[in-house]
Structure 1
């Protein structure tokens, strides 16, 4: 087996271990400095500065600066310097474009300050970079487009162990810093606690410590391989467990039916996660596939069984996904799940062939698995690049499918999810919602306009609730409620909670001395104030509550409202006028002493 870490790696040009250490430390410091500058530009305590004033550019730089240096840390000493520099430029450019697109497709009212990259973009970009890098390193070392599988195995699994140990080392470093800060604070010295909370210190030091950890793990390559061997051995013995569980699930499924699985609402994710666990554990068992490294018979049998189980699992996931798409159309999550299912199909076919091919032709144990892994890795990178770029943007595909379903009548205007277009589909969703406001269908246009005016999905859901007449008891008995107060109202009105089984109580009082009566309406838990507006409609103006106190009964607010001494009480402290805005004080109440029994 050729060692991709010592052939054509550029170690000589870096003058051995000291050169490697210096290069990694510089890479870590540069990454820390870049990330700190980006943080400073987007600091919520200050006005935004460039590049945070250009959200797509900021997102692209953040993704590139966050991941490219980590790839450089892994590539230093393993790739020729010229090739490493070229690969770093290509990787940074691709990451920047993915980050640019991820932020540019978001709606402009981001909900946070400043715009943030979405979690799927971060997670899948990191996974694609890891896979691509460890496809390239062995191929360059072997000077072939496709290297030997044992080189891929050695490179990727060693890097995985290094990554895990480096992250653990970085976390342990910060735990010790916080412990030291606590010790110094006990004796009245708070300088260390102040220092570690400063971003100019924390961000660069974190990146530097991670780079040092990568260097330390790289120097002790034999130790890393030993840790990897132990980890793979432990993981491989979990394969029979998950194989038995998955087989039992598939055997029981025809007798229990699929209804319970579909009712979970996450059947596809659950089944695909099981398939992913099988794939990882099969590879932990197979390792590099050499004849002198074969696992025990029981593990080889478990690997064959698990490989065959992949096919029914992936088919069930595709079936469940197709049912959901047929019923409710495409969403970004379902498109990503479809991409994962596509990769699962490749694994299922390849692993199934690897498990069953010895029955009709002579081949080494699970040997076809190797080609499957390489093909699936390449496909995974291509799928990620497609999904998180304009090519197969899940938001665009989902919006096109959902609006097409609405226009052809597959979903009624009342059941269509307008909130998805505004709050979850980004710019393309907002544009589609604007287009629906001009629809010739009056119901579609009305609901689209309501959704565009809404500030949250909750507002949309409340507005969609059909109006109903509340059940409100006027007090004292014989009092007549103002005209229209108990008329049918929409779901976003507090009176909507006044149902037949849990009615409300209303009392009329002139609370502010303007000669007009307001309505105090009590539910079981609070008292709401309603007053007439300029249009003659009753508007909810606020709520009255009582601070709960231990040892004192709370009571039903509907009964409390019937008190004979109900009267307005002047506030002990006035409101403040602050530049045209009114500030109202919330009193710091104290609980009375509970009665002695």
Structure 2
């Protein structure tokens, strides 16, 4: 074991620390929210401090003596709590701040990255930037917490089983204890602390080398996947990568996964680095491909920013892309070196970890305020004519981006630059009178929605030939349904028909009259397939159940062509079903 206490006293120390963490969690998240309803910022400060303090203390207690671990945890938790509370001032309410994805993510990043540096610095004779200590302690924390949480889950499983066993003989003592509010928190913290103590005592049996060795086995596989992807990309075309942020997410996840695998091959130092030619060669080749992955991810994020403007999520994605590029360039330079490439990787890891902590802290300060950056960008896009008033997401600006978004609305209202002022006035008026996003979308579209309904009624093919849609059916469709079906009708199937169709058919013998089947296929999207059953005052929408035949979602275009051509039958059954292109559908009674 490291510089911690051993034996029974050590276990009790860990158990007490874990139990204290559990009680603090109960106090902060269950007991105090009511009495502190009017002091939400103070409650956020205390909650952030408690979360950071106890997690960091439990993480560092295995490598530092308990007193040093507590001091280091307090040193970390206080500024983190301050930063989190400072970031919450971007919003009128703490609830709005916690709904934001960026601030909690930055808080978590600091909590993950900082403890290894504190362990290295607070260890006797330790050095803050000693890579060997940083690498070893980081992986030790991962392994210890993984094993400890596994034990916590096992302990709770045994507890529930014991409660069930006692229930067979009428004993309810465990159930009574668990109904006491602080008990679940206390038991979880206590078992976690004891588990961490035992894992620390048995560190020679649960070494990070096990996980690192498994990661190294993945190096050839990941290298092959990345190489095949990059080779196939020119054949498929690069353009399809940049249609959305999801491509950037996949590329970023792959890039950071590659960073982890390359670091596992570099290990903590030359003395312990594995000498296998395969693992080393794969790590160096993957390091050379990493800048390409990072560049593709950055390009995807940049194009999304150019197309739709900044949002807090895209600002966070841009920060991650910058980090990925930093790792990629640093690793590639190290891999090109003839000797000591792993030493270069280690230097890059320290520099990039420090950079990541600076950026994470920056996201919690006005320096990198993602709401302010996003709001300013959206206003600029409107002011220079890149986006019209009716395409600007005013609801998100006013309700999701805190005070920066509200200030942006004020700037938009005050603009007198000829960039569509009357249209903006109408949009702002619709926003002011809307109680929900749906109400706002209805109000902002106004006449445009009525025009869309009329256009859809004229362009939607109806079968059987000569049939017409019931009066009021299109008027009863929700705005998003009108938009989806209209976009489908504007496209064409392989047979040259509109990529939408409505079929009137008696799909329910228990109900008089016809139901309405809608099948539509928007470009690049999954098909819309549903039936509308008449009810008092409107229609009930149903998705189909399948009785037989091929999946109609696989080739909706062929089914649309067949329906328009009249190639379908209505087969009587206990429940009427629709047959088209070898498929049988029913929609219930």
Task: State if a TM-score over 0.5 links the two structures.
Answer: yes
Secondary structure at 1:238 match in 2: helix
Aligned twin of 1:566:
none
How far does the alpha carbon of each residue in 1:241-269 deviate from its partner, in whole angstroms, 9 at most, with x for none? 01111011111212221122123541211
Aligned twin of 1:132:
114
Instruction: Work out whether 1:433 is the aligned partner of 2:402.
Output: no
Structure 2 Cα separation of the partners of residues 223 and 497 of structure 1 = 58
Instruction: Work out whether 1:373 is the aligned partner of 2:349.
Output: yes
Structure 2 Cα separation of the partners of residues 350 and 41 of structure 1 = 48
Instruction: Work out whether 1:318 is the aligned partner of 2:298.
Output: yes
Aligned twin of 1:477:
none
- Choose the corresponding residue for 1:150, options 126, 132, 135: 132
* 8 Å contact kept, 1:23–1:76: no
Output aligned runs, 1:374-389, within 5 Å.
374-389=350-365
The structure with the largest alpha-carbon Rg is 1
Aligned twin of 2:287:
307
Aligned twin of 2:16:
26
Structure 2 Cα separation of the partners of residues 404 and 319 of structure 1 = 21
Aligned twin of 1:281:
261
- Choose the corresponding residue for 1:63, options 22, 38, 48: 48
Structure 1 Cα separation of the partners of residues 484 and 337 of structure 2 = 65
Distance 1:376 1:265, change over 3 A: closer
Aligned twin of 2:555:
none
- Structure 2 stretches lacking a partner, 5+ long: 459-469, 490-500, 505-515, 517-530, 543-572, 578-588
Shift of 1:492: 5.7
Aligned twin of 2:562:
none
Distance 1:230 1:85, change over 3 A: closer
Structure 1 Cα separation of the partners of residues 485 and 535 of structure 2 = 12
Structure 2 Cα separation of the partners of residues 351 and 77 of structure 1 = 31
Shift of 1:102: 4.7
* 8 Å contact kept, 2:248–2:300: yes
Instruction: Work out whether 1:238 is the aligned partner of 2:238.
Output: no
Distance 1:85 1:167, change over 3 A: closer
* 8 Å contact kept, 1:527–1:545: no
Structure 2 Cα separation of the partners of residues 493 and 282 of structure 1 = 46
Instruction: Work out whether 1:221 is the aligned partner of 2:211.
Output: no
Distance 1:495 1:167, change over 3 A: closer
Q: How many residues align?
A: 493
Distance 1:487 1:370, change over 3 A: closer
Output aligned runs, 1:35-114, within 5 Å.
35-41=25-31, 49-76=34-61, 78-79=63-64, 83-108=68-93, 110=95
Aligned twin of 2:167:
185
Structure 2 Cα separation of the partners of residues 327 and 133 of structure 1 = 39
Aligned twin of 1:252:
232
Secondary structure at 1:261 match in 2: helix
Shift of 1:402: 0.8
Q: Which 10-residue stretch deviates more, 174-183 or 205-214?
A: 174-183
* 8 Å contact kept, 1:438–1:445: no
Pairwise CA RMSD of aligned residues? 3.8
Distance 1:215 1:131, change over 3 A: same
Shift of 1:444: 1.0
* 8 Å contact kept, 2:102–2:363: no
Aligned twin of 2:327:
347
Output aligned runs, 1:550-565, within 5 Å.
none
Distance 1:91 1:495, change over 3 A: closer
Structure 2 Cα separation of the partners of residues 381 and 544 of structure 1 = 53
Structure 2 Cα separation of the partners of residues 377 and 388 of structure 1 = 17
Structure 1 Cα separation of the partners of residues 87 and 503 of structure 2 = 49
Distance 1:216 1:144, change over 3 A: closer
Secondary structure at 2:27 match in 1: helix
Aligned twin of 1:458:
438
Secondary structure at 1:223 match in 2: coil
* 8 Å contact kept, 1:102–1:118: no
- Choose the corresponding residue for 1:328, options 278, 284, 308: 308
Structure 1 Cα separation of the partners of residues 177 and 135 of structure 2 = 42
Secondary structure at 1:73 match in 2: helix
Shift of 1:447: 0.8
Structure 2 Cα separation of the partners of residues 325 and 40 of structure 1 = 40
Aligned twin of 2:146:
164
Distance 1:230 1:81, change over 3 A: closer
Aligned twin of 2:252:
272
Aligned twin of 2:378:
402
Distance 1:19 1:494, change over 3 A: closer
Q: Which 10-residue stretch deviates more, 72-81 or 494-503?
A: 494-503
* 8 Å contact kept, 1:422–1:452: no
* 8 Å contact kept, 1:399–1:421: yes
Aligned twin of 1:525:
533
Aligned twin of 2:183:
201
Distance 1:425 1:147, change over 3 A: closer
Distance 1:61 1:353, change over 3 A: same
Secondary structure at 1:53 match in 2: coil
Aligned twin of 1:364:
340
Shift of 1:464: 4.2
Output aligned runs, 1:401-550, within 5 Å.
401-440=377-416, 441-465=421-445, 466=448, 467-468=450-451, 524-527=532-535, 529=537
How far does the alpha carbon of each residue in 1:397-440 deviate from its partner, in whole angstroms, 9 at most, with x for none? 11111112112212111211112213431232234234434544
Structure 2 Cα separation of the partners of residues 343 and 155 of structure 1 = 22
Q: Which 10-residue stretch deviates more, 460-469 or 210-219?
A: 460-469
- Structure 1 stretches lacking a partner, 5+ long: 43-47, 473-480, 505-521, 530-541, 556-593
Shift of 1:163: 1.1
Structure 2 Cα separation of the partners of residues 293 and 524 of structure 1 = 65
How far does the alpha carbon of each residue in 1:427-462 deviate from its partner, in whole angstroms, 9 at most, with x for none? 322342344345441211221232243333333334
- Choose the corresponding residue for 1:393, options 355, 358, 369: 369
Aligned twin of 1:212:
194
Distance 1:487 1:175, change over 3 A: closer
Instruction: Work out whether 1:175 is the aligned partner of 2:157.
Output: yes
Secondary structure at 1:266 match in 2: helix
